[in-house]
Amino acid sequence: MYSDAAHAIWLAEPDERLRAPLAEGLRCDGMHMVEYVSPEVALEALGRGGKAAVLVTAPAESRLTDRELAEQTRLAAPQGAKVETS
């Protein structure tokens, strides 16, 4: 089980009905989950020095486009972090 923040999965999803069961299921599988109500809030935490192994977002639910979200993540992430979109 991963318990340190560097191995955390950050889940940014505004819909509690989706976010809560997904996070709980991954916790039951031993993952360290951190939940955010939006990609923007997750980016703020990242910019304040937060560490995540993976940031999972639902860009369609965000005010940001996929490209804007990726660019802001690159800017907020530590130097050398890999940012991928799908």
- pLDDT tens digits, one per residue of 10-29: 999 888 999 999 999 999 99
Q: Note the pTM of the prediction, 2 decimals.
A: 0.76
Q: Tens digit of pLDDT for each residue in 26-45?
A: 999 999 999 999 888 988 99
Whether 49 maps to a domain, the answer reads yes
By the 8 A CB rule, do 36 and 11 touch?
Answer: yes
Q: How far apart are CA 26 and CA 75, in angstroms?
A: 28
Q: Is residue 85 part of a domain?
A: no
User: Domain range holding 53?
Assistant: 5-76
Please check whether residue 31 lies inside any domain of the structure. yes
When divided into structural domains, the chain yields a total of 1
Q: Is the pLDDT reported for residue 58 higher than 80? A: no
Supply the CATH number for residue 37's domain.
Answer: 3.40.50.2300
Q: Let me know if residue 81 belongs to a domain.
A: no
pLDDT at 81 over 80: no
Residue 27: predicted pLDDT: 94
pLDDT digits (tens, 9 = 90+) for 59-75: 666 677 778 877 888 88
Rounded to whole angstroms, the Cα distance separating 79 from 3 reads 23
Q: Is 82 among the domain residues?
A: no
Cβ–Cβ < 8 Å for 52, 9: yes
| Torsions phi, psi for 34 (to 5 deg) | -125, 125
